[in-house]
Amino acid sequence: MSASPTYENTHEHLRLLAGSLDSGELSQIKQQLNDLHPAEIANLLESLPLHHRRIVWNLTNPDYAGDILVEVNDQVRLGLIEQTDKEDLIAALGSLETDDLADIFEDIPQAVVHEVVRSLSNQDRRRLKSVMSFAEDTAGGLMNLDTVSIRQNVNLDVVLRYLRQRGELPDNTDKLFVVDKEDHYLGVLNISDLLTKPSKHTVAETMITDQKALIATLSDNDVALFFEDHNLVSAPVVDENNRLLGRITVDDVVDVIRDEADRSLLNLAGLDEDDDMFAPVTRSAKRRAVWLGINLFTAFLAAWVIGLFAATIQQIVALAVLMPIVASMGGIAGSQTLMLVIRGIALNQIGKTNSRSLLWKELAVGALNGVLWACVVAVVTGLWFQSQSLGLLIGAALMINLIFAALAGATIPLTLKRMNIDPAIAGGVILTTVTDVIGFFSFLGLASIFLT
C-alpha cells in the first residue's frame, strides 16, 4: 500500500528543509516556508529538533505566526512563545479570530494578554469573554462566533440582498440560522434552498425546524458524535435559554477527532498528546518515569506471585517454560475486551442499561475461547513434555485466565469511568497486572496441588 499524498508531502518538505538547514541556506528556507500553509509549517516545527526549530521559527513569515501558534501542540507553543519578542507576539495574536485566540489564551504571558485585550474592539472583547466562559472541551469552547442569523418573517429575496450587502460569508457556511427578536434559535435555512426555492417564499415557509442545536456545555466528544450521526457541515450552539451563541463547523470537529485519537493512543503508554516530541531529555524522562515506576510495581507483584511457588518450579522445570503462555494468552484476550469496551464508552454506546449484557457476552466469549485454546495447548504440551497431567493442568489454567481476562477487560474501564479516570490511561496497566497474577497463580497453584 502506498503512502498518502499528504504524508509524502510532509516527509518531502521535512527532507528539503533539513537539507537547507544543514547547508545554512537561510534564503531558501524562507522560500520553502512561504510556499506552505500555516498548518503545514506547524507540522514541520513539531517534527524538528529544538535547535532547528528555533531557526525555522525565526525565519517564518510574521503574518503566519498567529495561525501557526494555534496549530502546534501545547508544549511546542510554549517554547515558540518564549522565543518570540513581546511586540511580535502581540502583533501575531492580534491577527487571530476570537475563537482561535481563546484556544491559546492560557498559554500567553500575562503582560502580552493585557496588551492583546486592549487592542481588541469592544465587540471582540465580548466575544472573547463569551468563548472563555466555557471549558475548552465543550461545544462552547469549540464554537466560533462568526454566524449569519436571519428572521423568519422575511422573504428569500430579502435574505439574498442582505447576503450580497455583506459581501462575504464565513468559511463552511452551508446554512443560515433563524432566530427571533431575542436571538432564540428557531431553525436553519439551507443555502441550497435559498438559491433554488421561489424568492417570494418566506424564511418561515422554507426553513428546517427539526435541526437540533448543540447546548454550549455539551462535551466535545458528544459534539463529534452528533456531527457523525447527522452528517453535518455546521451546527448552531445555544445557551440553556436556547439563545444562539455561535456555531461549530466540521473542521473543528475533525480537530476533536484527531486529538481524541492521539490522546487515546498515547494514554495507553502513559504519555500526553501535548508532549513535545523533541522536548529536552530530562523533561521527557521525568514524565515517563512515573509510568515506568507503576509498571515496575506491577511487575514485582507478578514476580512475588511466582516466588510463592519457587519450590514447585524447582521440582518441575517445565513450569518455568510454560508460564509465559498462560499470562500472554490472558493478556491478549483481556486487551481485546478492554479495547472494545473503551471504544464503546468513547462512542457513548455503553451505559448502565447494557453493561451487564455486554459483560455476560464477553464472559461467554472468554469461556468459548478458553475451551478451544485450552484443548490446543493441552495437546501440544502433553506431546511436548510427554505428560498428560501437565497438559491438562495448563489447559485448566489457561481457561481460568481467559475467563478472568474477559471479566477484567469488561469491568476495569467501566469502573475507571465511574471514578472519572480515563480508562485509556490506567486500563492497560491494571489489566496486565490482573492477567499476569491470575495466570501465574492459577497455573502454579494447580501445579503445586496436583503435580507435587
- Return the closest-CA partner of residue 311 out of 198, 429, 410, 452: 452
Residue-wise pLDDT for 117-162, tens only, equals 888 878 778 878 888 888 888 999 889 888 899 999 999 999 999 9
CATH of domain 149-267: 3.10.580.10
Residue-wise pLDDT for 342-378, tens only, equals 888 876 778 788 888 999 999 999 999 999 999 999 9
- Res. 392: pLDDT tops 50: yes
Residue-wise pLDDT for 182-233, tens only, equals 999 999 999 999 999 998 999 999 999 999 999 999 999 899 989 988 899 9
CATH architecture of 281-450: Orthogonal Bundle (1.10)
Contact 76, 43 (CB under 8 A): no
Give dist(CA 66, CA 101) in Å, integer.
Answer: 9
Contact 197, 156 (CB under 8 A): yes
Q: 235 - beta bridge partners?
A: 248
Structure-block grid coordinates of residue 120 = 481588541
Give dist(CA 76, CA 276) in Å, integer.
Answer: 6
Amino acid identity, position 361: K
Q: 177 - beta bridge partners?
A: 149, 188
The CATH superfamily assigned to 5-138 is MgtE N-terminal domain-like (1.25.60.10)
Contact 440, 307 (CB under 8 A): no
Give dist(CA 445, CA 452) in Å, integer.
Answer: 11
Give dist(CA 338, CA 359) in Å, integer.
Answer: 11
pTM across the whole model: 0.65
Residue 363 backbone dihedrals phi, psi, to 5 degrees: -65, -40
Q: Answer left, alpha or beta for residue 386, where phi above 0 means left and psi between -120 and 50 means alpha.
A: left
Residues across the chain: 452
Domain boundaries, the chain: 5-138, 149-267, 281-450
